[in-house]
Amino acid sequence: MEADFVIVGAGSAGCAMAYRLSEAGASVLVIEHGGTDAGPFIQMPAALSYPMNMSIYDWGYQSEPEPHLNNRRLACPRGKVIGGSSSINGMVYVRGHARDFDTWADMGADGWSCADVLPYFKRMENWHDGGQGGDPKWRGTDGPLHVSRGPRKNPLFKAFVEAGRQAGYELTDDYNGEKQEGFGPMEQTVWKGRRWSAANAYLKPALKRPNCDIVRGLATRVVIEDGRATGVELIRGGKKQVIRARREVVLAASSINSPKLLMLSGIGPAAHLAEHGINVVADRPGVGANLQDHLELYIQQASLQPITLYKYWNLFGKGLIGAQWLFTKTGLGASNQFESAAFIRSKPGVEYPDIQYHFLPIAVRYDGKAAAEGHGFQAHVGPMRSPSRGAVTLRSAKPEDAPVIRFNYMSTEQDWEDFRTCIRLTREIFGQDAFKPYAGKEIQPGAEVQTDEELNAFIAEHAESAYHPCGTCRMGRADDPNAVVDPQGRVIGVDGLRVADSSVFPQITNGNLNAPSIMVGEKMSDHLLGKDPLPKSNDRPWIHPNWQTAQR
């Protein structure tokens, strides 16, 4: 069992690397602990709340009790299945704002500015605007990853965008193009009515090649000999086994499992490793640190008209949608139902959007529990750049034990101020004329919740993770003591070992993380192959001309 490259994790970045490395002629073995992605719960877009609650597909991680959120333990689902989290996520496709990547470069991730990464986003995409407009110059049309738009048939999707316009915000017909800021259509990784995960886009085509294969097992550590990674130890069918890498080992096991594997392999904060009796190979205090995530709230309104998805929220309705999808791959089952979106700025002086909206024509929780009031709609809203930072640490030296995940959510005053702003701006949007025919009473938080103290209490009890953990093996310059990998993904202090997944993000991006995670896999593939990076782009993003003095 050996190959040129051994990749740990068949998730968003791992699948992309398996495809690109095998395409170039290198031999690749991908180690994945999870099983098949076959079956309607994963492949049917509208069933998205199921797989992330099923232990067969999800690692089932939870945070430690979060002190600023009433000591609640928040769910932290990570995909344990072919395709990783791209097989259990909400399928929302957001590249991030151009400034996110310029910030990465400023933080020491040289070669990861917007101009550097835009060509990789284009290379990975096969974009379909569905006749809804967009920004073709900024988009790719022949990559493996299909990106589409929902049909937006429900009048509430249009009402949300029109309400944004009435409130004085920008419109954008392509937030993944030149202009992220504004209200407009949302994009999804759905193609021909099926979830278009990294497994469907990249891994399955790669596995058809003779030089790419997958190995099922639990990776327990990286084998390091004389300062060089030479393979990966895994448990397979109850037995330990080592898979050797002739060229390099690449960890793409998620922002939770990649730092855990590094620490189990002796790479991490020396004192923490010593506590668990692990010999230190490289003292890197940044391993597991810098953990970031997005939190969100569901602002829910009762609907005056019975036009929401609630009418299907029964066994018969779900059966009907499921049957139509199974036989034709069409209908409500063929969309994730997130079909309108917005990115806005919270206040003057914020250069680019720091609040994201997902709009949904039903009042329901992410775990599939519907609001008791019946017909309703909701906006998922949350700040994009929380200053709070947490950490992933080892619970024990046993590979089968879940790590300790502490997000340290809402640990600064700015977090609270930003969230209260999110609620108040959302209420204003739902109060516009466009919603007059539809908006009944506010279900959540409820009209009586108004003061800062009341809003804070609501946030503490109801804020949920948007499931965007990242940052725990951050990229930086080789002389940065807190960086874990250099800008080519090489683990600082160990040869032949790289990390390529959302853990390398120096700072969380604007929006959902699947797209930038795949982009990392695409770009790191070129670094692994020793290729010159794609030529830089000269396209400049739209920035609000009055951002210094105006909020909208």
Place of tokens 């010593």: 274
d(CA 244, CA 137): 43
* HSE (side-chain half, CA atoms, 13 Å) at 146: 16
- 184 close to 175: Cβ distance less than 8 angstroms: yes
Strands (E), 254-366: 267-268, 282-283, 295-303, 340-344, 355-360
d(CA 15, CA 81): 12
Pick the closest to residue 67 from 522, 369, 410 (CA basis): 410
- 49 close to 91: Cβ distance less than 8 angstroms: no
Is 124 annotated to bind a ligand? Reply is no
Q: Is 95 exposed, middle or buried (0-12, 13-18, 19+ CB in 10 A)?
A: buried
Which of the following is catalytic: 462, 468, 527, 544? 468
3-state class of 164 per DSSP? Answer: helix
* HSE (side-chain half, CA atoms, 13 Å) at 373: 22
- 319 close to 333: Cβ distance less than 8 angstroms: no
Any catalytic annotation for residue 468? yes
Q: 437 Cβ partners below 8 Å, 6+ apart? A: 159, 304, 305
- Is the four-CA dihedral 496, 482, 10, 100 of positive or negative sign? negative
Cα→Cα distances 214→14, 167, 243, 411, Å = 11, 51, 12, 41
Is 381 annotated to bind a ligand? Reply is no
**Number of other residues whose CB lies within 10 A of the CB of residue 336:** 23
Is 90 annotated to bind a ligand? Reply is yes
- 212 close to 15: Cβ distance less than 8 angstroms: no
Is 91 annotated to bind a ligand? Reply is yes
- Which ranges in 47-111 belong to alpha helices (H)? 98-106
Is 92 annotated to bind a ligand? Reply is yes
Cite the annotated binding site for FAD by residue number.
81, 89-92
Cite the annotated binding site by residue number.
81, 89-92
Active site residues: 468
